């Protein structure tokens, strides 16, 4: 069973990794066959309806499965060692469905033509993905994506209790991972109607997700997180003082 859990965890991560890379190309209209602005177009009402349904499905799967209450119920069906890997696998499959069924709405909202500003936006786009990816490693990339859990189970080791830390970016913003997403989504020289719909929906989802996530973090860390929230801005370093935790 432990060996199967390791194989399953690796499989989930192998599915996640190209899905993540495809997401970069999808949002940036780079390298991929079907991106946020490419592919066959359909009638506007159909495109909006399908795209919102796909984004809603991702939001529901991503948020509901991350809640502690759902995890407790889910643990009756899925062994704890592969709970995170299952979450990662299902999230990846929903994203693949979104990429496949996305209906582009390529009508431009804005188009930047100055090559200097285009270059600047492209740099910001890649900076956002860099901040996002580095933030996962600042926490624990392999635990976040389920590999640490399956290998610990195979080695018959218990994972340590959650530890509250604020490395690097986390000293200045509470959610640099989400900030990386927002930067990458919005930094584009060509903003189409479809891209704007994607950005607006995902930005709203991120704000709602932060509210739920911080409620869960307060339940785990209590006053330590409340103090941190008072000292450090949610997405921008707008508040004075630094978190005194490590």
Question: Average pLDDT, stretch 145-150?
Answer: 95
Can you tell me the mean pLDDT for 33-38?
95
Residue 239 — very low, low, confident or very high, per pLDDT cuts 50/70/90? low
Q: pLDDT value at position 235?
A: 95
> What pLDDT is stored for residue 1 in this prediction?
64
- What mean pLDDT do residues 124-132 have? 98
Q: How high is the pLDDT of residue 67? A: 80
Any idea which of 9-23, 158-172, 184-198 has the lowest mean pLDDT? Answer: 158-172
93-119: pLDDT as tens digits: 999 999 999 999 999 999 999 999 999
pLDDT at 135 over 80: yes
Work out the percent of the chain whose per-residue pLDDT is above 90.
Answer: 83
Reported as a single tens digit per residue, the pLDDT across 40-82 is: 999 999 999 999 999 999 999 988 888 878 888 887 888 989 9
Domain boundaries, the chain: 2-231
Q: Return d(Cα 190, Cα 198) in angstroms, integer.
A: 13
Whether the per-residue pLDDT at 167 is higher than 90: the answer is yes
Band of residue 208 on the pLDDT scale cut at 50, 70, 90? very high
Query: How would residue 121 be classed by pLDDT, with cut points 50, 70 and 90?
Result: very high
Q: What is the pTM of this model?
A: 0.92
């Amino acid at each position: 069973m432990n060996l199967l859990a390791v194989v399953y965890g690796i499989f989930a991560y192998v599915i996640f990794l190209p899905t993540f890379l495809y997401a970069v190309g999808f949002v940036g209209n780079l390298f991929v066959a079907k991106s946020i602005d490419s592919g066959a177009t359909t009638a506007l009402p159909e495109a909006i309806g399908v795209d919102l349904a796909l984004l809603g499905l991702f939001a529901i799967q991503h948020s509901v499965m991350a809640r502690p209450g759902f995890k407790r119920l889910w643990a009756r069906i899925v062994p704890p060692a592969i709970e995170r890997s299952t979450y990662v696998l299902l999230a990846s499959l929903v994203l693949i469905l979104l990429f496949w069924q996305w209906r582009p709405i390529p009508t431009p909202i804005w188009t930047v033509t100055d090559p200097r500003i285009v270059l600047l936006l492209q740099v910001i786009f890649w900076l956002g993905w860099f901040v996002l990816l580095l933030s996962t490693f600042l926490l624990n990339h392999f635990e976040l994506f389920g590999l640490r859990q399956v290998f610990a189970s195979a080695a018959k080791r218990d994972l340590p209790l959650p530890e509250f830390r604020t490395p690097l970016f986390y000293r200045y913003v509470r959610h640099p991972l989400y900030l990386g997403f927002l930067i990458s989504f919005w930094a584009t020289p060509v903003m189409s109607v479809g891209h704007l719909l994607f950005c607006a929906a995902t930005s709203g989802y991120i704000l709602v997700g932060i509210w739920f996530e911080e409620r869960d973090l307060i339940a785990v860390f209590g006053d330590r997180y409340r103090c941190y929230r008072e000292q450090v801005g949610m997405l921008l370093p707008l508040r004075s003082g630094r978190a005194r935790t490590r």
